[in-house]
Amino acid sequence: MIRYMLQCEKGHRFESWFPSGDGFDALVRAGQIDCPDCGSREISKSLMAPALASNTRKSSEQTRAQNAHPLSTPRNAREEALAAMRRAVEENSDYVGMKFSSEARKMHAGEIPARTIHGEAKLEEAREMIEEGIAVMPLPFVPGRKTN
């Protein structure tokens, strides 16, 4: 895996991971990478400095702060919005884990009372639920219980 700092033609910068440099090139050629700020598909690699280890030791507090959950310290407005969305989802719905598909189907069929849930489903399960008319939506973050 390789991480690139990317930039659209409007100057918005963002980073993403790719399986390889060739993988990045193929996705750009296919128009499958777009800017999260404006949706532009004219994406190029931005200049990036390698991460090098330093000889100075960081305090344990600095290390803990850097290793904190990535959404606990948003770096820009996009990350702040994502953090707010995550908080709203987690505060206003029940996490059902891998039982998401079965719980959603039971609610849709009226077998159990309807409530707001979030969880995990395989791509094929999500497609089937959409085809069945069950309102589902992918979330742009990993559930809190799945992060370290």
pTM for the whole structure: 0.53
| Strands of the 43-45 sheet, one edge to the other | 13-18, 2-8, 43-45
Q: Which helix (H) or strand (E) holds 13?
A: strand 13-18
Coil, strand, or helix at residue 43? strand
Max avg pLDDT among 10-14, 112-116, 139-143: 112-116
The C-alpha atoms of residue 80 and residue 14 are separated, in whole angstroms, by 14
Token output for 128: 């089937």
pLDDT digits (tens, 9 = 90+) for 73-115: 777 788 888 888 899 999 999 999 999 999 999 999 999 999 9
Q: Measured in whole angstroms, how far is the alpha carbon of residue 56 from the centre of its chain?
A: 33
